[in-house]
Amino acid sequence: MPLTQEQANKLKKIAAAGSISLAVSLCLIKGLGVFYTDSLAVLSSMVDSLSDIFASLITLIAVRISVRPADCSYRYGYGKAEALSALFQAAFIAVSGLFILYDAGLRLKNPIPLTQTGLGLIIMITSLVLTLLLVAFQRYVAKRTNSQAILADSMHYSVDIMTNGSIIISLIAVRLWQIDWIDTAIAGIISVYLLYNAYTLGRDAVFLLLDRELDDDIRNSIYQIVSQHPISPKIHDLRTRNLGGAYMFEFHIELDGRLDLYTAHKYTDEVEELIRQTYPDAQIIIHQDPAGLAEERLDNKLAGSSCALK
């Protein structure tokens, strides 16, 4: 059952506040682990938690801005504030990854023996369990609300799940077999993954800001929904975009040119209602055309490209 806008906004705020609380808690206990173990892998995880605090604060601010209703200055709403927050997060993650990669290089030249690995294991296992619970909730919220910012935040903590697991393995290896170099190797792997995660997160944010077309399955669903109307009208020049949690659909609908204006308007409203049954928060703009009208169309301009009308 689709959520109302008020319910979606409340869920996003809870998820954003929860991620900040967890990030602060994890940063404190991992800092304790770094102090007692001298583990670069644990340090890399702590730095990642610091980045999570920064990212989650940005997410909370972005969510509060994005849920504002449209006004005279921003008539499409503030939804794309979430994409801006994702860009900031991507930059911060990239800097964190480079920092850890640099430190790993130094450690390879000058190894530092680890101590108190037992305490490190307790800290990292606790971090892993708490992070799993948060990510499960964030993914639920992102799926129900279509929030770019909450999804971006969950990606950080998904990385934490993998990094915490790998750090646990490295601490076990050091504790049982005294393989100190594996700690540095794990930290290097984590840093590379952070850089990749920053790239994908930044790329998706740029796509949203540049109004990249929605996935083909969403576009095709619009054609299918419109065809369910009793008069089965054709449509052309469909354009779609993500406004930041809500979709926007623009297209031309082809109707019998002999229809009076009121009837044509009635059919158009009925098509809008069909679409909103699937996309309740969508903004929809429909231009009415007489069927068979010869005119310049966007579909014709794109006919020779890979995105031609399906």
pLDDT bracket for residue 310 (50, 70, 90):
very low
Comparison of pLDDT for 4 and 85, the residue scoring more: 85
Domain 5-209 matching CATH 3.40.630.30: the answer reads no
Each domain of the chain, given as residue ranges in start order, spans 5-209, 216-301
Lowest model confidence (mean pLDDT) among 17-21, 96-100, 156-160, 225-229: 156-160
- Dist CA 255 CA 262 (whole Å): 12
Q: In the predicted model, is pLDDT for residue 36 greater than 50?
A: yes
Can you tell me the mean pLDDT for 19-43? 74
Pick the CATH number of 216-301 from 3.30.200.20, 3.40.50.300, 3.30.70.2190, 3.30.70.1350: 3.30.70.1350
Can you tell me the mean pLDDT for 265-289? 90
**Per the structure block, which two tokens stand in for 48?**
């990642």
Choose from 11-15, 47-51, 135-139, 168-172 the range with maximum mean pLDDT.
135-139
Can you tell me the mean pLDDT for 72-91? 78
Q: In the predicted model, is pLDDT for residue 184 greater than 60?
A: yes
Q: In the predicted model, is pLDDT for residue 149 greater than 70?
A: no
**Structure confidence at residue 265 (pLDDT):** 92
The model's pLDDT over 160-169, given as tens digits with 9 standing for 90+, comes to 777 777 777 7
Can you tell me the mean pLDDT for 236-257? 87
Can you tell me the mean pLDDT for 250-277? 91
- Dist CA 300 CA 229 (whole Å): 25
pLDDT bracket for residue 234 (50, 70, 90):
confident
**Structure confidence at residue 305 (pLDDT):** 56
Choose from 131-145, 166-180, 266-280 the range with maximum mean pLDDT.
266-280
Comparison of pLDDT for 220 and 73, the residue scoring more: 220
Mean pLDDT over all residues of the chain? 78
Can you tell me the mean pLDDT for 232-252? 86
- Dist CA 234 CA 274 (whole Å): 15
**Structure confidence at residue 76 (pLDDT):** 72
The model's pLDDT over 196-230, given as tens digits with 9 standing for 90+, comes to 878 888 888 888 888 888 888 899 999 999 989 88
Lowest model confidence (mean pLDDT) among 59-68, 84-93, 176-185: 176-185
Q: In the predicted model, is pLDDT for residue 274 greater than 80?
A: yes
Comparison of pLDDT for 160 and 239, the residue scoring more: 239
Here the contacts of 110-113 (C-beta below 8 Å, separation 24 or greater) are: 111/180, 111/181, 111/184, 112/38, 112/40, 112/180, 113/38, 113/180
pLDDT bracket for residue 2 (50, 70, 90):
low
pLDDT bracket for residue 307 (50, 70, 90):
low
pTM: 0.61
Can you tell me the mean pLDDT for 270-295? 87
pLDDT bracket for residue 309 (50, 70, 90):
very low
- Dist CA 272 CA 225 (whole Å): 10
Can you tell me the mean pLDDT for 63-70? 75
